[in-house]
Structure 1
């Protein structure tokens, strides 16, 4: 069995939920992580819980601000030499009837879910182009592949669907630079996003009739981050939710 060579990953939205699980999965196999989140206090709590010492570096800041992405990559390069993987995980989700979305709702969704991913990916492409390649893994949403009548979420679907399209387009554009771009599309996952929600109702939204774990999404992210002949794929990890009607 070959020994794993440690890599460096930048993970956005790393203070809780899927992002925290992804950071933990990288760290548990000996990798180094630069983790970003907006809330400094929660990010420091995550660092304490991960207990990875100097292998986990925190960068607090709004991912919608391009200066945050610049700082993530500057620090990663200064501390660890290079970045091998970017995981665009930071995101917000607002479910409501279309006509009830406000201008501020749209601004919040665009800022974190779209602009944040674009700023971070641009920095990653610049960095990875100069270092011989790398991987970008976007965390999107299964509902963008298969909308649900019982979950009105037109704007998140629009934006996450746009990230799926961006994933495929960049996979083609960046293949000559040896930069692989893929996405994981989670279904309903046990994270703070669903705190207080009706668990029985959530289970009915997926054919496997259970809620996924953040660790299951992290497994998929690490798989794509280590793939050498897979790019442009949007991988549903959703208990069958995107397979069709049931």
Structure 2
């Protein structure tokens, strides 16, 4: 088995996910990057697996690739997610299936497959990317399905931290505010900045720094780290 640590990152084609791929490589990790469509060039320390994370076959291929290329899985960052802002009665059955599939099933299939590898190796780390909206709702962003799906993952984070503490597998969550990614057109940035007490929207690097803090803090587990410009504290 290689001594180089390996991180698996979902939703890695752009935005926060792409920033996390760079961040982990910069601290010396090999990375297995996944997204439905992804055009990152593979390298000695980077393997790419395209596919829908809601499909259990994609999780199988991610784990297989990690073992074949690098021989291990040390960290999983469940970053893939979808947010559909609608009033609750306007959600469709397809909206529900999409959000549950990506936000919940993707987390379930990949994490469940990674845990035995971490147990065999004597430890590991899982980071779940959620959203502050699950704890602090905003009328301008109807987010009931985000609360059901990402909120469920946030709750599972603490349950799993306790369940696997004896195996030295840590589970943490990062809860971002609004982050400057392609999902938010530039003309919306000024309005979105007003949602945060610090008066700006976040940068991808802000989230990456938070994830790396948790990665490099071996005595931290079951933690929710809010990277949201003070949104969770109030307005």
| TM over 0.5, shorter chain | yes
Gaps of 5+ in 2: none
Q: Equivalent residue of 1:83, what SS?
A: coil
Q: Partners in 2 of 1:196 and 1:206 — Cα distance? A: 17
Which residue of structure 1 aligns with residue 133 of structure 2?
Answer: 143
Alpha-carbon distance in structure 2 between the residues aligned to 1:28 and 1:171: 27
Offset at residue 222 of structure 1 (A):
1.3
Residues matched between the structures, number: 233
Tell me whether 1:20 sits opposite 2:18 in the alignment.
yes
The RMSD of aligned alpha carbons is 1.3
Aligned match for 2:91, one of 101, 120, 136: 101
Show structure 1 runs of 5+ residues with no match.
none
* Residue 183 of structure 2: aligned partner: 193
**Corresponding position of 2:211:** 221
Taking the aligned partners of 1:144 and 1:75, their CA distance within structure 2 comes to 33
1:29 aligned residue: 27
* TM norm structure 2: 0.96
Task: Give 1:135 deviation, angstroms.
Answer: 0.1
TM-score normalised according to structure 1 size: 0.91
Question: Following TM superposition, where does structure 1 have runs of at least 4 consecutive aligned residues deviating by more than 2 angstroms?
Answer: none
Q: Note the C-alpha offset of 1:30.
A: 2.3
Equivalence map 1:37-116=2 (5 Å): 37-39=35-37, 43-44=38-39, 47-48=40-41, 53-116=43-106
Aligned-residue offset at 1:6: 4.0
Partner of 1:162: 152
